[in-house]
C-alpha cells in the first residue's frame, strides 16, 4: 500500500538498523520518544528489541490521557450526572478511571448520556439536531487535536448554537518538554524524538529552545519503522558530534513553520491558562489552553460553573517518574501486579499510548498463575 | 392493523403483537418464515423438530448475532447467523445438518428488511446444505433491541476417527490460515456511517464446512481448528496456546492481510490480528503433513489464499509471539476489555 509499505520495507529497516549499530560508539544513548504514538510504534514494530543494546528508549509524557489529572475526569462525570448534559468525547477517554474510581463508561452504564465521537464536529452536529439538550465536548489532547476543537468552536459560533460547549483540557508540548529537560540529571536524556503530528501543526522551529537552552538534540519523526530509525540515527550522529539541533526527519508531513492556518485558528479561539496541573509533571505555567473570552459562551467551565476537582495519584504508583522518563514501566513496583490494563492504578496503564500499557501489552511475560 | 389481512412486506413494520403467540405471530410464521425455510421438519410445526441422524458423534454449537449495521458489504446479519454457527460446527470436524433460529425483533423494524434477512438466511442454508428445523420469534418494545438479533444453534455429525480439540497443539506443529484476515471486521467498521469511509471492502462471510471436509480428505491429522471471529486471529491463537499449554510463534511477513484491510486498520488504529473474520479458519497440524494439507486447501475455492503463518513452540507462559521481518519480536496478548463495536 502506497505511503505505508515503503516505510516498512524490510531491507530498508535492516539497513537502518545496521547504520545505527555502526554509529554507536563505546557509550550508552538514552533517547526519549516524547510521543505516546511513538512509544506504541516502537513496541508494535518490535524495534525496541531490534535496536542495539547501547540505545535505550525512554518513554515520554506525550499521551494525552496519561497526563490528564484524574480530577478533570471527575469533573466530566459530574457534568453527566448532575447537569444532564450529553457528553461527547474520544473513545480513549471512556475507560479512564477518575479520582473516585468511576469512569465515563460507568457513568454511561448508570444512565448518563456519554457518546463517543471521532471528531468534535460530530458533537456540533449533534447539538444542532438536539436543540433541547446541552451538548458538551470533552476536549483532550496536545496540539494535534486542539485545531479540531478550535474548528468546532468556530463553527458553533457561526451557527449561533446556544447548546454547545467545550470542556477544554488541551495541553501544550513545548512546556512539557521543558519540564523534562529541567530535570537534567534525573532523566539523563541524550536526545529527544519529537512528536510527528504535533510538529506538523506547530512547526519544527517551536522546539528550537530545547536545543539552544538545554543542549538537547531533537529529531522530529513519523510513525513508521523507517521514520523512527532515521530519527534515531540522526540523533546518534548529533550526540557523537556534540551537537544539539532540531532536525526534521519527517519532511513529508512537517515544515519549519507548521500549519499556520491551524495556529491562527487556535490563537483566535483559545487563550493560555496561567497554570495547569499535569498528571505526573505537576503544575506547569502557560502549558494549557482554555476557551478564549470572545468564545466564553461556549466554555463548559463557565456555562455550568464547574468547580476544579483535585485528586492525588495512587500512592503506590510511580506514574510521575515514568512520565518524566526517570523510570521504565517494568521497574515500577506495582507494574503488572496491582496495576494492569484491566485494573489500572495509574494513567500510564490506561491509554493504549501509555508507556506502561505498551510495555504490558508487548513485552510482559505473565507469571504462571493457573494450576 | 387488522389480523385477517396479509402482511405488508413492502411498507409494513414489526408490531408488538407479532411476538405474542396469537394470530399476528401465526401470520408472520406462515407468510414470511415458512416459505423461506421450507422443509418437512419445520412444516410439522411441533414444539420441536424430529429429524433423522446419520451415525457418528453429535456436535452442537450456538452463536448469537447482533451486528450493526445489519446490512454490510458482502452480507447481512441473516447470512452471518447461518455461517457463524455452521462454521462453529465445522470447526469440530463435523458435517453440519440442522439449525434452530431464534429472532428477537424490535418493534417498528421494517418487514421488508426482515424479509431480506430471512431470504439471506435461506440462501445461506441452501449453500451450506443445512435446514432450519425449528425456531422462535419474540418482539420487544422500540428501543429494547437494535432492529434484529438472531441466535442460531447448529447440530452436526462428526466421524469417530476425527479428534480435533483446542488442547491438541504440540511443539513443532505448524499453523495455517485459510486466507487473508480481517475482511469481515474491516468491512463492517468501514461501513459505519459516522466514519464516512468509502472502500471496496466486502465481508468474507461464508460457510467453511466444505473446506474442512477437503482438509479431512487430505488424510493429514488435524489437531486444532478454529474460526477467528470476534477477537480475530490473535484471540483464537491465544486460546489454542493456552488450552494446549504451548506457545505459538507467528511470522509477521507470511500473514496474509489485504491492502484495504491494512488501510482501514491504520485509520482506526486497529491491529488486523484482532479484527474478525467470518469466513476463514486457522488449522494446526503436524509439520510433516503441512504441505499436503496446504495443497488440499489451496485446491478448494474457500482456501485459495491459505498460508503457513507460524509454528507451535514450547513456552511455559503459553504466549503468542509475533516475529518481525527485521528481527525482534513482540507478544500478541489477549484483548483486555477494549470497547469494540458490534461486528458479529
Q: For the segment A151-183, what is each residue's pLDDT rounded down to a tens digit?
A: 999 999 999 999 999 999 999 999 999 999 988
Distance CA A369, CA A364 (A): 14
Hey, are the CB atoms on B319 and A45 less than 8 Å from each other? no
CB A52 within 8 A of CB A317: no
DSSP state of A206: G
Task: Choose among B263, B269, B329: nearest Cβ to A46.
Answer: B329
Q: Tell me, yes or no, if A255 comes closer than 8 A to chain B by beta carbon.
A: no
Q: Tell me, yes or no, if A42 comes closer than 8 A to chain B by beta carbon.
A: no
Q: Average the pLDDT over A195-218 and give the result.
A: 95
CB B281 within 8 A of CB B91: yes
Q: Pick left, alpha or beta for residue A285 (phi over 0 → left; psi -120 to 50 → alpha; otherwise beta).
A: beta
CB A284 within 8 A of CB A168: no
Distance CA B222, CA B204 (A): 23
Task: Kindly state the helix (H) or strand (E) to which residue B298 belongs, with its residue range.
Answer: helix B290-298
pLDDT of amino acid B104: 97
pLDDT at A314 over 80: no
Q: Tell me, yes or no, if B334 comes closer than 8 A to chain A by beta carbon.
A: no
Q: State how beta strands A29-35 and A55-62 pair.
A: parallel
Hey, are the CB atoms on A50 and B325 less than 8 Å from each other? no
CB B238 within 8 A of CB B245: no
Task: Choose among B259, B328, B338: nearest Cβ to A49.
Answer: B328
Q: Can you say how many angstroms the Cα of residue B212 is from the centroid of all Cα atoms in its chain?
A: 14
Residues A289, A295, A301: CA angle, nearest 5 degrees: 60
Domain boundaries, chain B: 16-158, 174-331
pLDDT of amino acid A278: 92
DSSP state of A286: T
Q: How far is CA A19 from CA A22, A208, A236, in A?
A: 5, 27, 10
Residues 6+ apart with CB under 8 A from B155: B58, B59, B60, B89, B96, B97, B98, B99
Distance CA A216, CA A194 (A): 11
Hey, are the CB atoms on B194 and A48 less than 8 Å from each other? no
Q: Which CATH superfamily, name and number, covers B16-158? A: PurM-like, N-terminal domain (3.30.1330.10)
Distance CA A66, CA B334 (A): 22
Nearest CA distance, A362 vs chain B (angstrom): 5
User: What global pTM score does this model have?
Assistant: 0.85
Return the half-sphere exposure (C-beta side, CA atoms, 13 A cut-off) of residue B248. Answer: 31
Distance CA A193, CA A181 (A): 13
CB A354 within 8 A of CB A63: yes
pLDDT of amino acid A371: 33
Band of the pLDDT at A45, cuts 50, 70, 90?
Answer: very high
Distance CA A85, CA B299 (A): 58
Task: Kindly state the helix (H) or strand (E) to which residue A42 belongs, with its residue range.
Answer: helix A36-44
Q: Tell me, yes or no, if A12 comes closer than 8 A to chain B by beta carbon.
A: no
What is the chain B residue with the closest CA to A43? B330
Is A312 exposed, middle or buried, given 0-12, 13-18 or 19+ CB atoms closer than 10 A?
Answer: exposed
Cell numbers for B52, please give them. Answer: 433423522
Walk along chain B (344 residues) and give the pLDDT tens digit of each residue: 444 568 888 999 999 989 888 888 999 999 999 999 988 888 888 889 999 989 999 999 999 999 999 999 999 999 999 999 999 999 999 999 999 999 999 999 999 999 999 999 999 999 999 999 999 999 999 999 999 999 999 999 999 999 999 999 999 999 999 999 999 999 998 887 667 778 889 999 999 999 999 999 999 999 999 999 989 999 999 999 999 999 999 999 999 999 999 988 888 888 999 999 999 999 999 999 999 999 999 999 999 999 999 999 999 999 999 999 998 899 999 876 655 556 66
pLDDT of amino acid B322: 96
B103-155 tens-digit pLDDT: 999 999 999 999 999 999 999 999 999 999 999 999 999 999 999 999 999 99
Q: Pick left, alpha or beta for residue B69 (phi over 0 → left; psi -120 to 50 → alpha; otherwise beta).
A: beta
Q: Of the candidates B224, B215, B252, B227, which has an alpha carbon nearest to the alpha carbon of residue B312? A: B224
For domain B174-331, give the fold: Phosphoribosyl-aminoimidazole Synthetase; Chain A, domain 2 (3.90.650)
Strands (DSSP E) contained in B29-178 are: 57-65, 71-72, 75-76, 95-106, 131-140, 148-158, 174-177
Q: Of the candidates B212, B207, B233, which has an alpha carbon nearest to the alpha carbon of residue B320? A: B233
How high is the ipTM of this complex?
A: 0.78
Q: Tell me, yes or no, if B339 comes closer than 8 A to chain A by beta carbon.
A: yes
**Could you tell me how many CB contacts below 8 A there are between chain A and chain B?**
69
Amino acid at each position: 500500500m502506497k505511503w505505508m509499505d515503503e516505510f516498512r520495507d524490510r531491507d530498508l529497516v535492516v539497513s537502518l538498523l545496521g547504520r545505527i549499530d555502526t554509529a554507536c560508539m563505546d557509550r550508552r544513548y538514552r533517547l526519549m520518544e516524547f510521543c505516546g504514538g511513538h512509544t506504541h510504534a516502537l513496541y508494535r514494530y518490535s524495534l525496541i528489541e531490534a535496536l542495539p543494546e547501547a540505545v535505550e528508549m525512554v518513554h515520554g509524557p506525550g499521551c494525552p490521557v496519561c497526563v490528564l489529572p484524574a480530577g478533570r475526569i471527575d469533573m466530566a462525570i459530574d457534568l453527566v450526572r448532575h447537569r444532564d448534559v450529553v457528553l461527547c468525547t474520544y473513545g480513549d477517554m471512556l475507560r479512564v478511571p477518575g479520582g473516585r474510581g468511576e469512569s465515563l463508561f460507568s457513568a454511561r452504564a448508570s444512565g448518563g448520556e456519554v457518546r463517543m465521537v471521532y471528531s468534535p464536529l460530530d458533537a456540533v452536529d449533534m447539538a444542532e439536531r438536539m436543540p433541547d439538550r446541552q451538548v458538551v465536548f470533552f476536549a483532550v489532547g496536545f496540539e494535534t487535536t486542539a485545531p479540531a476543537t478550535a474548528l468546532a468552536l468556530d463553527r458553533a459560533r457561526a451557527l449561533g448554537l446556544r447548546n454547545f460547549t467545550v470542556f477544554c483540557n488541551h495541553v501544550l508540548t513545548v512546556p512539557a518538554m521543558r519540564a523534562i529537560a529541567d530535570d537534567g540529571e534525573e532523566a539523563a536524556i541524550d536526545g529527544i524524538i519529537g512528536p510527528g503530528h504535533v510538529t506538523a501543526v506547530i512547526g519544527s522551529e517551536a522546539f528550537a529552545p530545547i536545543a539552544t537552552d538545554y543542549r538537547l538534540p531533537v529529531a522530529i519523526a513519523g510513525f513508521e519503522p523507517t521514520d523512527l530509525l532515521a530519527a534515531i540515527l540522526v540523533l546518534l550522529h548529533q550526540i557523537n558530534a556534540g551537537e544539539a539541533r532540531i532536525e526534521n526527519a519527517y519532511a513529508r508531513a512537517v515544515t519549519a513553520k507548521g500549519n499556520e492556518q491551524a495556529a491562527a485558528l487556535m490563537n483566535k479561539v483559545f487563550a493560555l491558562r496561567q497554570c495547569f496541573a499535569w498528571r505526573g509533571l505537576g503544575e506547569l505555567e502557560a502549558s494549557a489552553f482554555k476557551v478564549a473570552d470572545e468564545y466564553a459562551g461556549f466554555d463548559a467551565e463557565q456555562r455550568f460553573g464547574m468547580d476544579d476537582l483535585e485528586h492525588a495519584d495512587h500512592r503506590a504508583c510511580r506514574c510521575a517518574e515514568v512520565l518524566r522518563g526517570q523510570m521504565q514501566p517494568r521497574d515500577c513496583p506495582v507494574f503488572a501486579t496491582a496495576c494492569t490494563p484491566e485494573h489500572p492504578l495509574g494513567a500510564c496503564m490506561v491509554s493504549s499510548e501509555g508507556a506502561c500499557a505498551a510495555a504490558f501489552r508487548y513485552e510482559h511475560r505473565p507469571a504462571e498463575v493457573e494450576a | 392493523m387488522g389480523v385477517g389481512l396479509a402482511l405488508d412486506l413492502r411498507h409494513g413494520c414489526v408490531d408488538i403483537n407479532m411476538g405474542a403467540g396469537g394470530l399476528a405471530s401465526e401470520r408472520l410464521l406462515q407468510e414470511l418464515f415458512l416459505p423461506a425455510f421450507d422443509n418437512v421438519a419445520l412444516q410439522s410445526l411441533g414444539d420441536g423438530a424430529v429429524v433423522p441422524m446419520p451415525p457418528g458423534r453429535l456436535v452442537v454449537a450456538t452463536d448469537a448475532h447482533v451486528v450493526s449495521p445489519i446490512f454490510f458489504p458482502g452480507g447481512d446479519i441473516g447470512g452471518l447467523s447461518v455461517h457463524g454457527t455452521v462454521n462453529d460446527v465445522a470447526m469440530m470436524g463435523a458435517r453440519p445438518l440442522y439449525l434452530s433460529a431464534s429472532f428477537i425483533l424490535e418493534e417498528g423494524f421494517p418487514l421488508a428488511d426482515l424479509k431480506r434477512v430471512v431470504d439471506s438466511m435461506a440462501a445461506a442454508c441452501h449453500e451450506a446444505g443445512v435446514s432450519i428445523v425449528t425456531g422462535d420469534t419474540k418482539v420487544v418494545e422500540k428501543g429494547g433491541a437494535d432492529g434484529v438479533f438472531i441466535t442460531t444453534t447448529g447440530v452436526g455429525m462428526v466421524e469417530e476417527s476425527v479428534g480435533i480439540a483446542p488442547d491438541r497443539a504440540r511443539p513443532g506443529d505448524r499453523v495455517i490460515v485459510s486466507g487473508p484476515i480481517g475482511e469481515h471486521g474491516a468491512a463492517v467498521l468501514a461501513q459505519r456511517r459516522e466514519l464516512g469511509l468509502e472502500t471496496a471492502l466486502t465481508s468474507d462471510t461464508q460457510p467453511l464446512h466444505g473446506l474442512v471436509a477437503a482438509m479431512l480428505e487430505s488424510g493429514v491429522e488435524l489437531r486444532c481448528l478454529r474460526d477467528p471471529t470476534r477477537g480475530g486471529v490473535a484471540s483464537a491463537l491465544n486460546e489454542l496456546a493456552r488450552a494446549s499449554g504451548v506457545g505459538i510463534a507467528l511470522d509477521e511477513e507470511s500473514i496474509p492481510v489485504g491492502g484495504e484491510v491494512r488501510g482501514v486498520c491504520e485509520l482506526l488504529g486497529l491491529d488486523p490480528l484482532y479484527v474478525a473474520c467470518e469466513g476463514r479458519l486457522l488449522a494446526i497440524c503436524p509439520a510433516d503433513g503441512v504441505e499436503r494439507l496446504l495443497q488440499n486447501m489451496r485446491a478448494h475455492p474457500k482456501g485459495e489464499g491459505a498460508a503457513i503463518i507460524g509454528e507451535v513452540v514450547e513456552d511455559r507462559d503459553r504466549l503468542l509471539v509475533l516475529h518481525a521481518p527485521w528481527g525482534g519480536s513482540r507478544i500478541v496478548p489477549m484483548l483486555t476489555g477494549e470497547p469494540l463495536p458490534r461486528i458479529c
